[in-house]
Amino acid sequence: MTLEIGDLKDSNEFLNLLLNNMDTAVLIAGENLKIHEFNDSFLSLFDRSYDSVLDITFGPASGCVNAVKENKTCGETSACRHCVLRKSLMETFLDDVPVHRKRLERIFYIDGAPIQKYLEFTARPISFRGDKMILVIIYDITEIVQSKKELQQKQAQIDLDLDAAGEIQKSLLPHNAPVIESIKVDWRFEPCQQVGGDIFHLYEEDQTHISAYMLDVCGHGVSAALIAVTAKQFLDNLHGQALMKGYPIQPAEILNKLENEFPFDRFDCYFTIVYVLLNVENGEFTYGCAGHVPPLIMDKNNQLEALNHHGPVIGFGHELPFSQAKTKLKRGERIILYTDGLIDNFGPVGDYNGKENFYSTLRRLGDHPVDRIADGVIAESKLMRNGASPNDDMSLLLIEYAG
């Protein structure tokens, strides 16, 4: 004989199958939280037997730490008046106030051992066997909460590690400007995360030359920072070789060496760089650019000239060697190196006027010393994006040739 679905829904067999195959604990309790009915999941949740639960109150039935330690029933322990479960369920029973997924954190004695449980419970007033009762549904979220806490702990450790990595990265940036009468130097760096892909530096090459570079790795975070640091170590090594030879390496040669050392198929990334070489005695200025935003020259009238000689980014494996260009600085003129993140953050997100805003700010601040210019640029950028954190690393390096 086939049982119709309508008949099945009205049958005790269906209700028992439903209740006892739920992962959620269900119970019916009366006055003072005495348990009258429950499903198998309730027994599994607290590892109890059928006979140990029926017709006793929730505290002893569940192994509530307060009931076990004081050997008392619900409502009689010293902690009952502070119990969120008892208070909520009694309000449901007495005042017909439903409860929806309220949190309970408590130790329960399960198989004789204290176990921290994180539960959520829902309660509804019902009529059962002609008496006023409450239907209680208990969700065990212990694994979810513990997993969340573990993730939070891991994230906290990651944040600490990133902060430490960020400080290490900042330590690799210039600390002191070269003590040379004919130049004045200043810089600013603001990563969009704890660590970033921007890095820059200055070198005293010999008695008549300084060099500087601004490098920007595609992407953000740890992987970009590692590439940036690796590139800096490589450039530091080239600078050491130049000191041993007694003369500086030209920018074009630097870029070609970088291209050979950092192929895309080895590092799975690419970066841009501008490398400059300045004769501090006569102002001769040589530069090479690999996909980077062009360096700027600011004259004594605060007018800007973009130096547009450039090649492709480092890592693309192009066949033609990099080249370089030369110009000559006049007394009082400034070299400005920066990353595209500075332009991108010179205004709110989505503003396409970043470059013009940046240029306008430079011209407005041009009568000030380089340190005041650097401070003013970063402050204006923050003001234009309404104090929001930058969405890309921001770097700025200014070199004034005093002649």
For residue range 309-323, list pLDDT tens digits in order. Answer: 999 999 887 778 999
The residues, ordered by sequence, that sit 6+ positions from 49 with a Cβ below 8 Å of its Cβ are 43
Residue 165, SS3? helix
CA 323 to chain centroid: 39
Q: At 192, is the pLDDT very low, low, confident or very high (cuts 50, 70, 90)?
A: confident
Mean pLDDT score of the chain, rounded to an integer? 88
Return the bridge partners of 113, or none: 110
pLDDT above 90: residue 398: yes
Find the distance separating the first CA and the last CA of the chain, reported in whole Å.
Answer: 106
Residue 376 scores a pLDDT above 50: yes
Q: What are phi and psi of 66, to 5 degrees?
A: -70, -40
CA proximity to 183, closest of 251, 278, 303, 250: 278
Calculate mean pLDDT across residues 349-357. 82
Q: What is the pLDDT of residue 1?
A: 34
The pLDDT of 91-98, averaged and rounded, is: 91
- The order of strands in the sheet holding 296-298 is 183-190, 394-401, 334-338, 296-298, 304-306
Closest CA to 262 of 213, 220, 217: 217
pLDDT at 304 over 70: yes
The confidence band for 128, taking pLDDT boundaries of 50, 70 and 90, is confident
How does residue 19 score in pLDDT terms, banded at 50, 70 and 90?
A: low
Q: How confident is the model at residue 3 (pLDDT cuts 50, 70, 90)?
A: very low
- Helix, strand, or coil here: 249? coil
309 CB contacts (<8 Å, ≥6 apart)? 287, 288, 289, 323, 324, 325
- Residue 159 bridge partners (DSSP): none
Give residue 17's pLDDT band: very low, low, confident or very high (50, 70, 90). Answer: low
> pLDDT digit string (tens) for 217-226?
987 777 888 8
Under the banding of pLDDT at 50, 70 and 90, the label for residue 120 is very high
Pairwise CA distance, residues 124 & 134, whole Å: 6
Looking at this protein, which amino acid is placed at residue 225? A
pLDDT at 214 over 50: yes
Bridge partners (DSSP) listed for residue 336: 296, 398
Q: Which helix (H) or strand (E) holds 329?
A: none
